[in-house]
């Protein structure tokens, strides 16, 4: 053994290791995520969801969800290094029992309508395309008194909270929480560019609106498509906001909705926040490149895909489409490390 090897092996039992052997990997010249582009076609996923509906009840499962795992991160319940994604199914008459946890959740309604999620005593009825928030540490249960299966995308900061080792959870003694306020109260208080005169933010860093209806978001995108310049990279894209701060609606997760006009052939971009996309309406394609490798996903309604950090993506849509997406951008902004590059 030479001097160095002797040093390494002598100090190894002391849990010491030489930085110079790993420095390049620790501080890479540019982001080098293990996460890969991934695509879930809804027509492939849906039969498994319906089989899950026969295999277990929502109550027994607590949350009957098929987790979308990044193919390069299997076994970690992670769709990117920082984010979780799953598709949750609830059937008529079922209840997913009340619990709370430190992790924040978003629900983006993919199929069906009439189920509800209850947050802190207020129910929000689900319609396809609605974006609903479960703030950190609020009691929440899901139920369904209407007809047909309802499926939504669950986006949570589970890997982030796990990374910080900061997660707590608690089951409620009640199966469903008591309704304390009529549906729509939060939206009336905070959803009209107005706010109560004397009250602090009820959920801290999280938006006091927990349902952002699709109808309103869609209307804004439609009008902007007609009346404002279309961005060459994003089409018409808006971010959801916390009306009390103008910032992100959730402390850990940014959410967006965009419309690609018919005939859109976007320019390429890359960003340090990997993003999960849910196709709401229409169809199109995304080309993702990283070094020599290229992925192309042809998407339609209810399909899901991932654009990982620092992969170049281009969106196209001959017939027009609407996309919802989410990422960990609020955290990267807070740390001052978010970076974006738009190719001409
Ligand atoms: O609805 O509370 O997909 O706690 C994963 C963990 C959903 C939920 C998930 C959860 C939930």
For residue 116, report the distance from its CA to the centre of ligand 1, in Å.
14
Distances (CA, A) of 101 to 63, 139, 151, 159, 343: 13, 8, 21, 14, 40
- Give the containing element (helix H, strand E) for 107: strand 105-111
Bridge partners of residue 123, in order along the sequence: 118
Beta-carbon neighbour count of residue 168 at 10 Å? 11
Does residue 166 sit within a domain?
yes
Any domain includes 111: yes
Residue 25 forms part of a structural domain? no
Closest Cα to atom 9, ligand 1: which residue?
A: 154
**Across residues 117-141, what is the average pLDDT?**
96
Domain contains 224: yes
Reported as a single tens digit per residue, the pLDDT across 68-81 is 999 999 999 999 99
The residue-averaged pLDDT of 311-321 equals 98
151-185 tens-digit pLDDT = 999 999 999 999 999 999 999 999 999 999 999 99
Q: How far apart are CA 148 and CA 144, in angstroms?
A: 9
Mean pLDDT along residues 33-52: 98
- Let me know: does 290 contact 315? Beta carbons within 8 Å: no
Is residue 287 a part of any domain in this protein? yes
State the total domains in the chain. Answer: 1
pTM of the model: 0.97
- Measured in Å, residue 182 CA sits from the centre of ligand 1 at 24
**Ligand 1 centre from 299 Cα, in Å?**
26
CA distance 272 to 287: 17
Are the C-beta atoms of 134 and 117 separated by less than 8 Å?
Answer: yes
Q: How many CB atoms lie within 10 A of CB 192?
A: 9
Average pLDDT over the chain, rounded to whole? 97
CATH of the domain at 100: 2.60.120.10
Atom of ligand 1 at shortest range from CA of 140: 2
Lowest mean pLDDT among 32-36, 198-202, 259-263: 198-202
Residue 4, domain member (yes or no):
no
Which tens digit of pLDDT belongs to each residue from 217-265?
A: 999 999 999 999 999 999 999 999 999 999 999 999 999 999 999 999 9
How far is ligand 1, taken at its centre, from the CA of residue 21, in Å? 40
For residue range 270-282, what is the model confidence (pLDDT) as tens digits?
A: 999 999 999 999 9
Identify whether 29 is part of a domain: no
User: Given a cut of 90, is residue 326 above it in pLDDT?
Assistant: yes
Q: Quick check: 296 pLDDT over 90? A: yes
Task: Give residue 309's pLDDT.
Answer: 98
Query: 3-state class of 227 per DSSP?
Result: helix
CA of 134 to the centre of ligand 1 (A): 10
pLDDT-based confidence at residue 199 (cuts at 50, 70, 90): confident
Contact 342, 303 (CB under 8 A): no
**Protein residue whose Cα sits closest to atom 1 of ligand 1:** 63
Answer yes or no: is pLDDT of 299 > 90: yes
Domain of 332 in residue numbering reads as 34-342
The tens digit of pLDDT for each residue in 7-30 reads: 999 999 999 999 999 999 999 999
Question: Which of 86, 105, 176, 326 to mutate to test ligand 1, by most ligand atoms within 8 A of the CB atom?
Answer: 105
What is each CA distance from 201 to 85, 245, 248, 256, 333, in whole angstroms? Answer: 27, 9, 14, 22, 21
Order of strands, edge to edge, in the sheet holding 38-40?
38-40, 304-307, 275-282, 321-327, 254-260, 236-239
Cα end-to-end span (Å), the chain: 54
210 against 155, higher pLDDT = 155
Is position 241 within any domain?
A: yes
* Ligand 1 binding pocket, CB closer than 6 Å: 63, 65, 86, 88, 101, 105, 140, 154, 156
What pLDDT does residue 153 have?
98
């Amino acid at each position: 053994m030479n001097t160095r090897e002797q040093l390494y092996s002598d100090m190894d039992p002391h849990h010491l290791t030489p930085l110079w052997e790993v420095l390049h990997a620790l501080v890479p010249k540019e982001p080098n995520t293990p996460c890969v582009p991934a695509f879930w076609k809804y027509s492939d996923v849906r039969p498994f969801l319906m089989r899950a509906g026969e295999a277990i009840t929502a109550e027994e499962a607590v949350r009957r969800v098929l987790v979308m795992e990044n193919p390069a991160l299997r076994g970690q319940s992670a769709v990117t290094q920082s984010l979780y994604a799953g598709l949750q199914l609830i059937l008529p008459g079922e209840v997913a029992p009340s619990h709370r946890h430190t992790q924040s959740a978003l629900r983006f309604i993919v199929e069906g309508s009439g189920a509800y999620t209850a947050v802190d005593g207020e129910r929000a009825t689900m319609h396809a395309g609605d974006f609903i928030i479960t703030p950190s540490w609020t009691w929440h249960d899901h139920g369904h008194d209407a007809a047909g299966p309802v499926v939504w995308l669950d986006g949570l900061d589970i890997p982030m909270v796990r990374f910080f080792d900061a997660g707590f959870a608690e089951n409620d003694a009640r199966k469903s929480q008591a309704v304390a306020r009529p549906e729509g109260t939060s939206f009336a208080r905070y959803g009209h560019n107005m706010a109560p005169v004397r009250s602090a933010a009820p959920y801290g860093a999280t938006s006091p609106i927990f349902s952002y209806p699709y109808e309103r978001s869609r209307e804004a995108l439609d009008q902007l498509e007609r009346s404002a310049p279309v961005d060459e990279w994003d089409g018409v894209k808006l971010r959801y906001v916390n009306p009390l701060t103008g910032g992100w609606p959730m402390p850990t997760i940014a959410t967006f909705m965009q419309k690609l006009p018919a005939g859109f052939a976007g320019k390429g971009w890359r960003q340090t926040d990997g993003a999960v996309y849910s196709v709401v309406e229409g169809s199109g394609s995304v080309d993702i490149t990283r070094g020599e490798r290229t992925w192309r996903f042809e998407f339609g309604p209810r399909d899901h895909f991932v654009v990982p950090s620092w992969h170049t993506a281009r969106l196209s849509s001959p017939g027009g489409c609407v996309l919802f997406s989410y990422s960990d951008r609020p955290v990267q902004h807070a740390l001052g490390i978010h970076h974006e590059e738009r190719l001409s």
